Amino acid sequence: MKTIGISRQALVAALFGAAAVGTMAVAPKVFSPEAGAQPITVQAPHNAPLSFADLIEQVEPAVVSVNVTTEREVGRLRDMDQFFEQFRGMPGFDEFLEQRRQEQEDQQDEPEVQEGRSLGSGFFISQDGYIVTNNHVVDGAKEIQVVLKDGRELDAELVGTDKQTDLAVLRVTEKGEYPFVHFGSAETMRKGDWVVALGNPFGLGGTATAGILSADGREIGPDSPYTDFLQIDASINRGNSGGPTFDLDGNVIGVNTAIFSPTGGSVGIGFAIPAELADEITQAIIKDGKVSRGWLGVSIQDLTEDMAEAQGIKNAEGAIIADVTNGSPAEKGGLERGDIILSVNDKKVTDATSTTRVVGSLIANTSNKFEIIRGGKPKTLKVTVGERPEDPYARTVPASSSAPADKPEKGTTVKDVGATFEQMDDELRSRLGLRSGESGLVVTHVDKGGVMDKAGLAEGMVILEVNNKPAASVDDFRKAIADARKSDRTKVLIAIRVGQITNYRTIDLSDAS
């Protein structure tokens, strides 16, 4: 690069010459910072690499492309579903479609089988050939092949999957010693740390991209209730699913699984399953071929500020148990309706979602420590969680819901809250799926604009508890209200049964006339 210079003598002459011919003018300062003020300065990250080549060269042999062959049954009409979609809603169309389907069934034709192919990524986690990938990559697979960096194509068998976390484990059928990587810790990563993703985008194979950890703890939909995803901006595209994301030490800190994109291509928002969760799930799959999730058998809600205030609790964090299933692990472990779960195995929970995730991550048939609040006082319980059933919400009693609509109004009126109640009988108790002898007050009338009306209560609902005490009688209800007022509380917590679902609400005594 050419540099323009000036001699020392010329510089001195220019300065003194200017002083000799006249007064030297000095331009005034337009801006003068306050004394001692310093601008924001940022040092370049000391660990920013000049190149990722050494890292990629070492870990790439453990990364594979996953090629999957699937088969699915199709009918002549099913193949035209996309074409028929434009006619949905037209008069008589649904009847026409159903008639055609019935005609096909009557013909008893053998269903046609259509072959499909899908591509993904994966990586070895053991020398003897275990591979981690995504469940959606191998879903419905008839044949699975993996392609190594050196071009070898190896058959692989499915060891097991976990749909809830979208993880799967394969194992190559050819015995040998394979290069492998291991899981690190996503919890030690900070927003802004470098990450490198490897995979098979669009079937191109052996592709590396780099970026940073953009965020953690992301929720990306109801289909992944047990996962707080890592968000990364290293380019993730179709075919990257199941591939690893590395830290700069070559540890797998995430399994690439999804992208957010309006176009279908990378826009810099990718999601990876954290290493700690992926390691735990894959080890369970290798051991048992499946994941047995912990199950308590409770219905829970977020603890709101009003609920906390009604019980004199300052911190509105945790989950309140709205219902406990008969014979469930929760019941056997001593958990009760109205208990507020604060932590599980010393891991703090903040709401119903975090509680569900923590409990779901527990291993079935293990004993776990639950820190709760019951009646305003802290309590510790040891609860052995069970294995989550196929349908944890299945009921063993009829699902008939509310009291008959034509039932005449009767009972005792509590003017303060603008409602009339009567005690629950055995017939209604049975229809609501409640335990024998459980007490409650049936709401038979609600004044429009009254306290109960504003709280969303209606005829046919049943109040089971008031401020964590059974609502055995109207006198009990009145006493709970009086006690709240003596304690200068304006909120009262009530447990409501609607059909076979129990939930908590608060009534505001400041609305009372």
Judgement on whether residues 348 and 371 belong to the same structural domain of the protein: yes
Does residue 130 sit within a domain?
no
Does residue 169 sit within a domain?
no
Please tell me whether 239 is known to bind a ligand.
yes
**pLDDT (0 to 100) of residue 27:** 45
- At which of 323, 353, 387 does a domain end? 387
Prediction pTM value: 0.60
Judgement on whether residues 281 and 308 belong to the same structural domain of the protein: no
Q: Which two tokens stand for residue 371?
A: 């820190």
Q: Are strands 244-246 and 252-259 parallel, antiparallel or unpaired?
A: antiparallel
Please tell me whether 136 is known to bind a ligand.
yes
CATH number, residue 284? 2.40.10.10
Query: What count of Cα atoms within 13 Å lies in the side-chain half-sphere of residue 72?
Result: 10
Mean pLDDT in the chain?
79
Please tell me whether 166 is known to bind a ligand.
yes
**pLDDT (0 to 100) of residue 335:** 95
Judgement on whether residues 275 and 304 belong to the same structural domain of the protein: no
Please tell me whether 292 is known to bind a ligand.
no
**pLDDT (0 to 100) of residue 360:** 81
The single residue listed with the structure tokens 């299945």 is: 394
Q: Which amino acid is at 400?
A: S
- At which of 249, 265, 288 does a domain end? 288
Does residue 270 sit within a domain?
yes
Judgement on whether residues 370 and 301 belong to the same structural domain of the protein: yes
122 DSSP β-pair partners: 64
Judgement on whether residues 207 and 283 belong to the same structural domain of the protein: yes
Judgement on whether residues 247 and 280 belong to the same structural domain of the protein: yes
User: For the chain, what is the domain count?
Assistant: 3
Count of helix runs (H) and strand runs (E) in the chain = 12, 27
In the predicted model, residues of the chain with pLDDT beneath 70 are 1-36, 38-48, 72-97, 100-113, 217-227, 259-268, 390-410, 511-513
324 DSSP β-pair partners: 298
Q: What range does the domain containing 373 cover?
A: 294-387
Please tell me whether 440 is known to bind a ligand.
no
Residues 6 or more apart from 479 whose CB is under 8 A from it? none
Judgement on whether residues 431 and 464 belong to the same structural domain of the protein: yes
Query: What count of Cα atoms within 13 Å lies in the side-chain half-sphere of residue 436?
Result: 0
CATH number, residue 328? 2.30.42.10
Judgement on whether residues 433 and 486 belong to the same structural domain of the protein: yes
Judgement on whether residues 434 and 466 belong to the same structural domain of the protein: yes
What is the torsion angle, in degrees rounded to the nearest 10, for the CA atoms of residue 377, residue 378, residue 379 and residue 383?
120
Judgement on whether residues 357 and 310 belong to the same structural domain of the protein: yes
**pLDDT (0 to 100) of residue 93:** 56
Judgement on whether residues 373 and 427 belong to the same structural domain of the protein: no
Radius of gyration of the chain (CA): 33
Catalytic residue positions, numbered: 136, 166, 241
- At which of 223, 254, 288 does a domain end? 288
Judgement on whether residues 298 and 276 belong to the same structural domain of the protein: no
